[in-house]
Structures are given as structure tokens and as C-alpha cells.
Amino acid sequence: ARALPYRIETLRRFANVVRQRHEPFADLLARETGRPLWEARAEIDGVIARVDASVSGFAERTAQRRLDSPMGSRTALRHKPHGVIGVIAPACTPVEIAAGHLIPALIAGNAVVLKPSEKTPAVAVFLVECLLAAGVPEASVRLAIGGPAEGRALAASADVDGLFFTGSARTGAALHRAGAERPDRLLALEMGGNNAILAWDTPDLAAAAAIVVQSAFASAGQRCTAAGRLVVDDAIADALFDQVARLSDRLIVGAPHDDPAPFMGPVADDEAADGLIDRFLDLILRGGRAIRHLGRPDPDRPFLTPAIIDVTGVSDRVDAALFGPVLQVQRVASFEEGIAAVNATRFGLSATLLGQTPALYDRFWAGTRAGIVNWNRPSHGAGPGAPSGGTGWSGNHRPGGWYAADRCAYPVVSMEAEAARAMMGIGLRDG
């Protein structure tokens, strides 16, 4: 019910609160997720940057407009919030993803109920405390701690006017089915991807290998935009695979506060580690050739070393994101075959080309199905100042980031005049 400038100023105070509490927030995030401290700090930086980006995105996407109309009236375009938004956030990048939903929703004037992953409740508490400290009313941001049962309850609540979900495709599809009887409620799904890099005429193999390793193994491969597949021109495949393997061997895997700082920490938990090992062994049984095995230094802790497996001869691979430090590599003989291999997935979040020919990039950009298409850059998104979303099973065409304002408020068109003026000249009897 407060004016937009008041809401914006409140969220800018929130950014200042997070800035003031940056180090304890990052430390808590690192300890709860196991991610390196430097990476946790970068995520908190992303939360702060999200505020100004959301303000600018809201101004561009939902700006109030007035148009002249006949007979001295005018047409006005404004936007209204949906009401109560339920947010279900994942354990990967739990703070930035949750903030990416909450901040634009609050700027638009919605109230929000956040259900974080049961694996990362502490950082969600810290995030909400920062919002309250900035002056967001307690009635406008609430926290629901729990697991799948609490998530289902939030999704089924008749008092929720919109539901924003980031997580697995299986859960997203279940939410889609469960919402079939609620066409009045907005549903925004962000469901990850089985992302691929196509390496073609790239002369600097060391630089290409660095981009591949960053894309595949950052955050232990636990990003929705992580590249789990590498498709390579057969002419350079052996040389590039060797470079990627050499660089992967140098990556430090360790705890958040280790010195020297690790490149990657553990996967989410022991269950996730066990599942990844099973999936890796399944690929070998199906004909895959391990270039670098998936190692587990301590069987009682979820630390995994980066793995690379050649799946060129595996025809029945499961189309799913492994969500861990496993890179599947594939050789192809032609550029067309490479694009086809990149598109050989029901997902469509991120696709990357490594190559030096602009004409090939134009063909790659036009021929791939993805919401993020990069050229000689890592597969991860472009940051809070750009839209973020995908096609296919990566979402339901409700992108976040810069376009988050589209799903946080709905347009209202009004024809307005300060006095009633009307006449009828056709279809009337003489009176």
C-alpha cells in the first residue's frame, strides 16, 4: 500500500544493511553450503547489485504511461502487484536466487513468503532479518522453514496469488500439474538445464580449457547454468581434452576457509555425492570412457574431485543435469552435427560456442535453443542486469533477472476523463 518511491528506498536500505553485514553473511553462507569463502562473498555482492538492477528493470518493464485519447480523455497504463507471492528457493546459490525473487516482488508491492531449501535455512533467516532491519514490514515478508511437505503446503495454499520456483525439473513439473486448477495464479518456473559448450575453431586451447573448467566445475558443478557437456570438433578434441584434464588436475577441492583457498567445495550432501558416483559408473557401463575419474577423497564427506568422461559412443544417455563436477565430452565431425548435439536435450537454458569465426557464431546463435547463448565466455548467466531464463524444460517462459518485473506486477489499462461525455448517433428511434 506504500508508494513506489518508499518501497524502492526501503530496498536500497536493505542493500546497505547487507553491505554492513557482508562478512558474517558470507561466512554463514560458506559454512552452511561448504562453498569457498571467496565464492560466498561474490554471492553476497550479487545480492547487493540485485537491488539497483531490479529498480532499473522495474522502471523499464512496468513504467507508467499515458496516451492521448479522443474527446479529451486519456489512456493510462499502470501496474498492480499480484498480492501474496510464494517463493521456493534451492540450496545452490541460496541467497542470490532467493533475493532475485524477493527484491523485485517487494518493489512491485507484493507480500512474500519464502520457503528455502531444508539444506540452507540459516542463510534464509539471515536474509529475512536484513529485510526487516531495513524496514520491510514483518507482514510483507515471512519465512516458512521446512522440507518438501512445507513446500507443497505453500504451493497449495489458496491465499497465494503467485508462486516462484527455482529447482529441479521434476519438482517444477509437479508444481505445474498441481496448479492446473488454478489458472488465476501466476506460476514462474526456473528448472535448470543440461547445458553444452561447442568448441570449434578455437586456436588458444589453454584459454578454451579455462572457460570449460570454469563453466563445468565452478560451485562443484552445482549451478543451473553449469556446462555438463562439451561437444568438440574431432580435429582438436584430443588436444583440448588434454588441456581440460591438466587444468582440472590442478583444481583445489576443500573446505570454505582452507588456505590456500579451494576452487570448489563439496556437493550438497552425502546423498548427492552417492548419486553422482552412481550416475558416473552408469555412463561407464553404457560405453563411456573415463578421461578423469570421479574421486571421493573421504567416503564420509561429500567432497568430489572433477571428472571427465568421453561419451561419444554412448547413444542412450539420460537427458538430465548431473548437478555436480562431471563433464561429459563428445566428438563430432561437422559444425551441423555439433549444433545438433548441443540441442539434443529437452532443456534449453545455456549454450556456449568457443571459436573465432563470427559467421559460425551467427549460425550457432540462430540454431541453438537456449535463453542464454554465449560466445567465448563461460556458460553462466550475464548477471543481475540481464534477463535470465530458458526454453523447453528449463522454465515456463517467466524469465528472472532484468525481466523479473514482468511476473511481479500485472498491467492495468484505464480510459479516463474528468467528466462524463458521451453521445449515441446510430441505431436509435426518433425520440
**How does pLDDT run along the chain (431 residues), one tens digit per residue?**
899 999 999 999 999 999 999 999 999 999 999 999 999 999 999 999 999 999 999 999 998 888 777 666 789 999 999 999 999 999 999 999 999 999 999 999 999 999 999 999 999 999 999 999 999 999 999 999 999 999 999 999 999 999 999 999 999 999 999 988 899 999 999 998 999 999 999 999 999 999 999 999 999 999 999 999 999 999 999 999 999 999 999 999 999 999 999 999 999 999 999 999 999 999 999 999 999 999 999 999 999 999 999 999 998 888 988 999 999 999 999 999 999 999 999 999 999 999 999 999 999 999 999 999 999 999 997 777 889 999 999 999 999 999 999 999 999 999 888 888 788 889 998 87
How many Cα atoms occupy the beta-carbon half-sphere of 415 within 13 Å?
7
Q: Where in the chain is the domain with CATH 3.40.605.10?
A: 4-191+395-416
Q: Do 274 and 294 contact (CB within 8 A), yes or no?
A: no
Element containing residue 364 per DSSP (H, E): helix 358-367
Strand partners, 290: 309
pLDDT digits (tens, 9 = 90+) for 117-171: 999 999 999 999 999 999 999 999 999 999 999 999 999 999 999 999 999 999 9
Instruction: Determine the Cα–Cα distance for residues 351 and 225; give it in Å rounded to an integer.
Output: 9
Residue 71: the pLDDT is: 65
Q: Which of 39, 92, 190, 408 is catalytic?
A: 190
Residue 61: the pLDDT is: 94
Sign of the C-alpha dihedral, residues 71, 77, 78, 82? positive
Q: State the burial class of residue 174 (Cβ atoms within 10 Å of its Cβ: 0-12, 13-18, 19+).
A: middle
Residue 72: the pLDDT is: 67
Parallel, antiparallel, or unpaired for β 162-166 and 84-88?
parallel
In which residue are the cell numbers 499515458 written? 66
Instruction: Determine the Cα–Cα distance for residues 235 and 381; give it in Å rounded to an integer.
Output: 29
Q: Do 154 and 113 contact (CB within 8 A), yes or no?
A: yes
Is residue 32 among the annotated active site residues?
Answer: no
Residue 366: the pLDDT is: 98
φ/ψ (deg, to 5) at 72: 75, 5
Q: Which of 92, 130, 224, 408 is catalytic?
A: 224
Q: Where in the chain is the domain with CATH 3.40.309.10?
A: 195-375
Take residue 404 and report the three cell numbers written for it: 523479473
- For the segment(s) 4-191+395-416, the CATH number from 3.90.180.10, 1.10.10.410, 3.40.605.10, 3.10.350.10 is 3.40.605.10
Is residue 129 among the annotated active site residues?
Answer: no
For 104-142, give one letter per residue: b (16+ CB within 10 A) or e.
bbbbbbbbbbbbbbeebbebbebbbebbeebebeeebbe
**CATH 3.40.309.10 assigned to 195-375:** yes
Q: Do 213 and 243 contact (CB within 8 A), yes or no?
A: no
